Amino acid sequence: MRRTSIRDHAWLYPILSLVLAVGILLAFGLTWWHALAVTALLGCPLVVLWGLIFSWSQPEPGSELAPETDGVTIEWIAPFYDRLCTLLGLGRAFRRQILEVAALKAGERVLDAGCGTGVWTRLAAEAVGSSGQVIGFDPGPTMIAIARRNAAREGSRATFELAAVEELPFEDASFDAALLSLVLHHLPAEVKRSGLKEIGRVLRPGGRLIVVDLDQSNSVLSRIVLWPLSHIGSSADTFDGKIPIYLREAGLKPVTVEGQWRKSLTFWRAMKPLSSIASVETPFK
Ligand SMILES: C[S@@+](CC[C@H](N)C(=O)[O-])C[C@H]1O[C@@H](n2cnc3c(N)ncnc32)[C@H](O)[C@@H]1O
């Protein structure tokens, strides 16, 4: 277990800010040398100060210890995560489509695995109403701190916990539905396997898992834009279309494709069989 804070990354924000300042000056027509000189002489102190104030103004994670995971957490992006999603076209409409596929009903108990800043978790909490319950979890302390702050601001009933999908602090068969949105490509193969088994354990028989993630893309544009990701260890197999194989291997079936988002993300639904003796497939090579 470890305890990290956004302030551990404080050094990163002044550097990002300086790069941004040089970029803006270049866009205004200055030469490289002039842009670097102006940033260094005039902009540096202000930009460094802004970067430090920015990182110190982020919510401080509580005293809970963060779980160790081999999954890729993106703590340093947490303060910008929601804006980045909107910029990438993953705003409210995207979250609403997930909600449609999940078809949540009033009174259901729902898990948002790897919830990040909890945007969908809060929408799901509205959908299940006061008789239901939605819990989001993530191993990133800053993500969880931001999720809790935003839920408190909106008066949302969603709650958040620090946890990793490979070791869930929840009872067997205690959820009607679970979501893994944009998480599987952050997990190495072994963590994908153990995480999906854990989700299968906490889903009730007949419960459903909704997965949204990268897939074998049909669109040339998204193949070009996402090309670097297809070469990173944890995401390469998602580009090879292996998510349904992992789901079935964890005993979650049938697996159905429920839609796509802009020809680059696929929505799957995988069921936990009603029979308690779910057949678990042999791992693929
Ligand atoms: C791209 S974000 C997706 C966040 C959110 N689900 C969404 O749709 O916006 C990926 C998230 O996966 C989380 N993650 C990484 N390793 C994990 C693990 N072992 N268990 C659960 N979540 C993990 C990261 O901390 C990060 O918040």
Measured distance CA(108)–CA(23) in Å, rounded = 48
- Helix, strand, or coil (residue 79): helix
- Asked if 138 contacts 71 with a C-beta cutoff of 8 angstroms, the reply is no
3-state secondary structure of 180: strand
Contacts of 231 (CB under 8 A, 6+ apart): none
Q: From residue 156, give the alpha-carbon distance in Å to each of 60, 99, 150.
A: 20, 16, 8
Per-residue model confidence (pLDDT) at position 285: 37
Centroid of ligand 1 to alpha carbon of 138 (angstroms): 6
The pLDDT tens digits of the residues spanning 229-244 come to 777 778 888 888 899 9
Mean pLDDT score of the chain: 87
Least confident of 37-51, 211-225, 248-262: 37-51
The token pair at 257 is: 């494709």
29 CA distance to ligand 1 centroid (A)?
39
Q: How far is the CA of 182 from the centre of ligand 1 (A)?
A: 7
Neighbours of 151 (CB within 10 A): 21
Phi and psi at 167, nearest 5°, equal -150, 90
Instruction: Supply the pLDDT for residue 48.
Output: 67
Residues with Cβ within 8 Å of residue 144, at least 6 apart in sequence: 61, 137, 138, 160, 161, 162
Query: Can you tell me the distance from the alpha carbon of 159 to that of 161, in angstroms, rounded to the nearest whole number?
Result: 7
Q: Which of 81, 186, 197 to mutate to test the pocket of ligand 1 (most atoms within 8 A of CB)?
A: 186
Tell me the average pLDDT across 30-34: 85
**Residue 254 contacts by C-beta under 8 Å, 6 or more apart in sequence?**
270, 271
Q: What is the DSSP letter of 137?
A: E
Write the residue with the smallest CA distance to atom 17 of ligand 1. Answer: 71
Cis peptide before 273 (omega within 30 of 0): no
- pLDDT tens digits for range 93-141: 999 999 999 999 999 999 999 999 999 999 999 999 999 999 999 999 9
Neighbours of 2 (CB within 10 A): 9
Q: Which CATH number fits domain 75-271: 3.30.470.160, 3.40.50.150, 2.60.40.10, 3.40.50.300?
A: 3.40.50.150
* 165 Cα nearest atom in ligand 1: 20
Q: Whose CA is nearest to atom 18 of ligand 1?
A: 164
Of the candidates 10, 11, 76, 14, which has an alpha carbon nearest to the alpha carbon of residue 39? Answer: 14
Express each pLDDT in 39-88 by its tens digit.
777 766 766 676 667 666 667 667 788 899 999 999 888 888 998 999 88
Percent of the chain predicted with pLDDT > 90: 58
Nearest CA to ligand 1 atom 9: 116
Q: 282: pLDDT confidence band, cut at 50, 70 and 90?
A: very low
Ligand 1, closest atom to CA 186? 15
Decide if 97 contacts 261 (C-beta within 8 A): yes
* Choice between 120 and 263, residue whose per-residue pLDDT is larger: 120
The protein residue whose alpha carbon is closest to atom 27 in ligand 1 is: 116
Q: Whose CA is nearest to atom 23 of ligand 1?
A: 114
Q: Which atom of ligand 1 is nearest to the CA of 85?
A: 9
Measured CA distances, 129 to 10, 41, 122 (Å): 39, 55, 11
Residues with CB under 6 A from ligand 1: 69, 71-74, 85, 113-116, 120, 138-140, 143, 164-166, 181-183, 186-187, 191
| Nearest atom (ligand 1) to Cα of 140 | 25
